[in-house]
């Protein structure tokens, strides 16, 4: 339906500045209120004229009985509506239901802002500025708390049987517990499914990141249907490869180069950092394992006098560094250059930055879950070079891809 230009001209004849249109008490807010009240009156007319209602003889004793007031919030702002009443008290609107104080979509605005890292005070200010609506901290808490049931359902959902690639990592947040503020690790598992799309499989919170807890995470994944993982990319946590091997013995464990390089340069002086990073890059970008090993020896000769722990660390982790050298460029590129988990963690840290201390575990999980919902909206396409990578996976991991992938 198209609104007649003459009607729009009539509405806008006294319009002089933007606030007259979109501001508090502006045309859009007035028009929304008028349209809703008109619909409510129409609903009442239909209620009283309903044929089944007439046949029961109730219409003879029932009639309109004035109005009650209800304040309701929406994207148009806040408005006090005149809700029609009937004498028998049987009328119930489908547009504005009993107990309803917000229109559909308004809660979504709160959740979207919360998921972008805004504090309760920030959200209150934003809604006041955007829509002229005042909301209480209690309301915001009630709306976001409703997400917890959704989190539980999401966390227990069934998963695919095979994931070619998986990144396992944790981010640290501060949580108040028993009157103290402590660090807690939120464990994240990000995977690439058979379509080449990113998929966050779950999140688990505990006080410390450790191989024993990761074993529980992997067991949970198995219980939810994950039967095989081709390559798992992890940080240098002690015992991590063993935990993976105990649950998924066929999985190749690849140490994340981003974590390894970051840990390597943590105590390198600023003036040497660029040169050290360049020499480390020559190791992990080598074409073959032999070339990488030679470059590591050259690195040790050059830097061991100043930073002996770097080459020592790389040599101790070498068994989990070299798997990528066994694969062609298309798979290696997917394994390393995507840096999928690091990109996700960076986005999550931006979101949690405003929440210096979470009131409890549930508050932290709410923010992370909503933030992931916002981030994953961009995960609509397969990652780059996925088709040639999948073809190589079919060769390298022969017999482990589901048969339907070939059909």
Bridge partners (DSSP) of residue 168 are 189
Angstrom distance (rounded) from CA 80 to CA 33: 8
Residue 148 and residue 339 in contact, taking contact as beta carbons nearer than 8 Å: no
Q: How far apart are CA 341 and CA 352, in angstroms?
A: 16
Confidence at residue 304, expressed as pLDDT on a 0 to 100 scale: 95
Furthest-apart CA atoms within the chain: distance in Å: 101
Nearest CA to 367 among 123, 27, 10?
123
226 in the Ramachandran plot: left (φ > 0), alpha (ψ -120 to 50) or beta?
beta
Place of tokens 């397969």: 382
What would the pLDDT profile of 17-35 be if each residue is shown by its tens digit?
655 555 565 666 666 666 6
Residue stretches of the chain with pLDDT short of 70: 1-40, 50-61, 72-79, 93-97, 99-118, 126-135, 139, 142-143, 336-339, 404-407
Interval 331-368: pLDDT, tens? 777 776 446 777 888 888 888 887 788 888 888 888 88
* The pLDDT value given to residue 105: 55
Map residue 74 onto helix, strand or coil.
strand
Q: Tell me how far apart the alpha carbons of residues 2 and 25 are, in angstroms, rounded to a whole number.
A: 25
Residues in the chain: 407
| Gyration radius (Cα) of the chain, Å | 30
Distances (CA, A) of 299 to 280, 281, 319, 321, 327: 7, 10, 18, 16, 24
pLDDT at 9: 65
- Cβ-proximal residues to 406 (8 Å cutoff; 6+ apart), any chain: 394
- Closest alpha carbon to 400 in 292, 202, 269, 249: 249
Rounded Cα–Cα distance for residues 14 and 229 (Å)? 66
Q: Are residues 330 and 268 in contact, defined by beta-carbon separation less than 8 angstroms?
A: no
138-193 pLDDT per residue, tens: 767 766 777 788 888 899 999 999 999 999 988 899 999 888 999 999 999 999 99
């Amino acid at each position: 339906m198209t609104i007649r230009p003459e009607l729009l001209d009539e509405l806008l004849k006294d319009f002089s500045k933007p606030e007259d249109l979109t501001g508090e008490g502006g045309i859009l807010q007035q028009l929304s209120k008028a349209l809703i009240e008109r619909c409510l009156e129409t609903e009442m007319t239909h209620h009283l004229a309903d044929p089944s209602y007439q046949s029961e003889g109730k219409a003879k004793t029932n009639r309109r009985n004035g109005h009650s007031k209800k304040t309701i919030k929406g994207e148009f702002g806040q408005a006090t509506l005149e809700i029609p009443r009937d004498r028998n008290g049987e009328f119930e609107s489908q547009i504005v239901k009993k107990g309803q104080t917000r229109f559909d979509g308004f809660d979504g605005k709160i959740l979207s802002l919360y998921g972008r890292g805004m504090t309760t005070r920030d959200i209150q200010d934003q809604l006041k500025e955007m829509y002229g609506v005042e909301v209480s901290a209690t309301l915001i808490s009630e709306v976001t708390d409703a997400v917890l049931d959704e989190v539980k359902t999401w966390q227990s959902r069934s998963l695919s049987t095979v994931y070619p690639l998986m990144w396992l990592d944790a981010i640290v947040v501060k949580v108040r517990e028993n009157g103290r503020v402590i660090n807690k690790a939120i464990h994240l598992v990000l995977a690439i499914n058979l379509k080449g799309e990113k998929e966050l499989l779950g999140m688990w919170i505990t006080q410390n990141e450790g191989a024993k807890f990761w074993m529980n995470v992997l067991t949970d994944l198995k219980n939810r249907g994950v039967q095989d993982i081709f390559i798992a990319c992890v940080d240098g946590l002690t015992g991590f490869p063993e935990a993976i091997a105990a649950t998924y013995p066929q999985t190749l464990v690849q140490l994340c180069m981003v974590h390894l390089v970051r840990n390597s340069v943590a105590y390198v002086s600023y003036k040497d950092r660029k040169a050290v990073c360049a020499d480390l890059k020559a190791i992990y970008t080598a074409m073959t394992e032999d070339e990488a090993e030679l470059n590591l020896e050259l690195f040790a000769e050059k830097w061991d006098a100043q930073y002996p722990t770097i080459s020592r660390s790389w040599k101790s982790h070498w068994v989990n560094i070299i798997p990528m050298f066994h694969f062609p460029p298309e798979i290696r590129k997917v394994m390393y250059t995507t840096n999928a988990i690091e990109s996700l963690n960076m986005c999550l840290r931006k979101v949690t930055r405003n929440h210096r201390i979470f009131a409890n575990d549930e508050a932290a999980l709410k923010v992370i879950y909503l933030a992931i919902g916002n981030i994953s909206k961009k995960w609509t396409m397969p990652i780059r070079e996925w088709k040639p990578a999948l073809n190589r996976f079919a060769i390298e991991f022969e017999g482990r891809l589901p048969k339907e992938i070939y059909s």
